[in-house]
């Protein structure tokens, strides 16, 4: 009999994954959907063909009805809470849990034990790829666990939600999470290096555009995509981040913890975390996107204060003009000409500077009407 699927977690990743599951999964039964915020389940269900999804009101209700349960949730605490509801809700013997969140390997190890105690199968399968890849069914799955359980997951991976897999069959589930955390340090380091490089380009007068051309020509792919998000400022305008600062700090923290446990120093992750703190302070950890590391680098480079520094310089020059203008009947003309010239130059520069000001270093304005938002 065709298995009944339940999906728990309809955030940035979960929504795209379910869409592909429904469209390409050859499912005989509607996918059960559970999300803490019910509206997200309703919005997704309304976009998918009728009868292909069914919303459930609790984790317990969904787990009771399902054979295979997918979860993709923010962090370890949320995953633990959802699993304790899932496992406490009734008989889970023979059911398969597929846990796709990025969490600490130790948390995964505990979930494996809890699932086994209830007689359930467990596969850890974190995923590589941004929300756009989830939407396009192009994720890379990293399934780990008993071969037989991984085989139960496979019909929903290649050609459905993913483009490939890096499997750890019959290996501890924690291995998948370790790979995921190592992989995410690559992504986070890349974003911080881009942010620093583009800031350097501005400060040295090279300009961001040539550096973007270099990045596109030499690296492309994720580098170019993040470069676009930085230079266009889209990450600042989004109401929902694509990769939140909170989730990224969680990943960097887990990676540093894992590294420490094996005597490796992850210095870059600490730098990334510092940048992400700035993004969090500025936009909120659940609202700020990791591309905001560019804004953090710019802020650290003092670009924010240029207008004030410029003002102080012009005031100082005007004061000098006042005191050092040649005495005599033309002194007033000297003074007013010089001060007016300095003020005019400053105003011209100020207007040009403000027109180019990068949005991240200004407060979020979700109340700005669409027609006034410029690209």
Ligand X SMILES: NC(=O)c1ccc[n+]([C@@H]2O[C@H](COP(=O)([O-])OP(=O)(O)OC[C@H]3O[C@@H](n4cnc5c(N)ncnc54)[C@H](OP(=O)(O)O)[C@@H]3O)[C@@H](O)[C@H]2O)c1
Site pattern 247..286 for ligand X (x: CB under 6 A): x---x-----------------------------------
Min CB(196)–ligand X separation in Å:
21
Distance (Å, whole) CA 119 – CA 345: 76
Which residue, 21 or 303, has its beta carbon nearer to ligand X?
21
Q: What are the tokens at 121?
A: 């199968």
Quick one: which of 194, 191, 310, 204 has its CA closest to 241? 191
Q: Give the C-alpha separation, 230 to 222, whole Å.
A: 12
- Exactly one of 4, 6, 7, 12 binds ligand X (CB under 6 A); that residue is 12
**Using CB under 6 A, which of 5, 6, 7, 14 touches ligand X?**
14
By CB under 6 A, is residue 105 in contact with ligand X?
A: no
Question: Is 243 among the residues that bind ligand X (CB under 6 A)?
Answer: yes
Of 183 and 233, the one with the shorter C-beta distance to ligand X is 183
Whether 135 and 159 have beta carbons less than 8 Å apart is answered as no
The answer to whether 187 and 163 have CB atoms below 8 angstroms apart is no
Identify which range of 42-50, 114-122, 238-246, 254-262 contacts ligand X by CB under 6 A: 238-246
Q: Considering the rule CB under 6 A, would residue 244 count as an interface residue with ligand X?
A: yes
Q: Using the rule CB under 6 A, is 292 a contact of ligand X?
A: no
Query: Shortest Cβ distance from residue 12 to ligand X (Å)?
Result: 4
- Long-range Cβ pairs for the range 312-318 (8 Å, 24+): 314/342, 314/343, 314/345, 314/346, 317/342, 318/342, 318/343
Nearer to ligand X, 240 or 274 (CB): 240
- Contacts with 162 (C-beta within 8 Å, 6 or more apart), sequence order: 127, 137, 138, 139, 140, 141
Closer CB to ligand X, residue 12 or residue 325? Answer: 12
Q: Should residue 102 be labelled a site residue for ligand X when binding is judged by CB under 6 A?
A: yes
The answer to the question of residue 55 lying near ligand X (CB under 6 A) is no
d(C-alpha 122, C-alpha 325), whole Å: 83
The yes or no reply on residue 288 touching ligand X (CB under 6 A) is: no
| C-beta separation of 8 from 70 below 8 A | yes
Residue 227 touches ligand X, criterion: CB under 6 A: no
**Tokens, residue 64:** 């009771």
Query: Contact positions toward ligand X, by CB under 6 A?
Result: 9-14, 35-37, 40, 72-74, 78, 101-102, 127, 130-131, 242-244, 247, 251
């Amino acid at each position: 009999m065709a298995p009944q699927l339940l999906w728990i977690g309809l955030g940035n990743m979960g929504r795209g994954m379910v869409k592909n599951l429904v469209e390409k999964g050859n499912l005989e039964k509607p996918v059960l959907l559970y999300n803490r915020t019910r509206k997200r389940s309703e919005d997704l269900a309304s976009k998918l063909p009728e009868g292909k999804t069914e919303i459930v009101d609790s984790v317990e209700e969904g787990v009771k009805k399902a054979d295979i349960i997918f979860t993709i949730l923010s962090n370890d605490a949320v995953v633990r809470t959802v699993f304790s509801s899932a496992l406490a809700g009734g008989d889970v013997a023979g059911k398969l849990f597929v846990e796709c969140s990025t969490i600490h390997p130790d948390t995964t190890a505990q979930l494996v034990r809890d699932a086994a105690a209830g007689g359930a199968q467990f596969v850890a399968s974190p995923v590589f790829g941004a929300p756009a890849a989830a939407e396009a069914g192009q994720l890379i799955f990293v399934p780990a666990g008993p071969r037989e359980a991984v085989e139960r997951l496979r019909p929903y991976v290649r050609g459905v939600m993913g483009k490939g897999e890096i499997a750890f069959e019959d290996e501890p589930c924690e291995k998948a999470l370790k790979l995921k955390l190592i992989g995410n340090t690559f992504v986070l380091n890349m974003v911080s290096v881009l942010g620093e490089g583009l800031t350097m380009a501005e400060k040295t007068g090279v300009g961001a555009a040539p550096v973007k051309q270099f990045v596109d020509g030499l690296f492309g792919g994720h580098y170019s995509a993040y470069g676009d998000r930085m230079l266009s400022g889209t990450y600042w305008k989004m109401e929902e981040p694509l990769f939140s600062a909170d989730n990224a700090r969680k990943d960097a923290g887990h990676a540093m913890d894992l590294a420490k446990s094996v005597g490796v120093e992850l210095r870059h992750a600490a730098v990334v975390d510092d940048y992400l703190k700035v993004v969090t302070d500025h936009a909120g950890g659940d609202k700020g996107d990791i591309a905001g590391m560019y804004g953090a680098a710019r802020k650290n480079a003092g670009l924010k204060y240029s207008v004030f520094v410029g003002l102080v310089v012009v005031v100082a020059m005007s004061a000098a003009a006042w005191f050092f203008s040649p005495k005599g009947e033309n002194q007033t003309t000297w003074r007013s000409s010089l001060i007016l010239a300095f003020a005019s130059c400053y105003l011209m520069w100020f207007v040009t500077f403000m027109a180019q000001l990068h949005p991240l270093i200004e407060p979020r304005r979700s109340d700005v009407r669409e027609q006034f938002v410029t690209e």
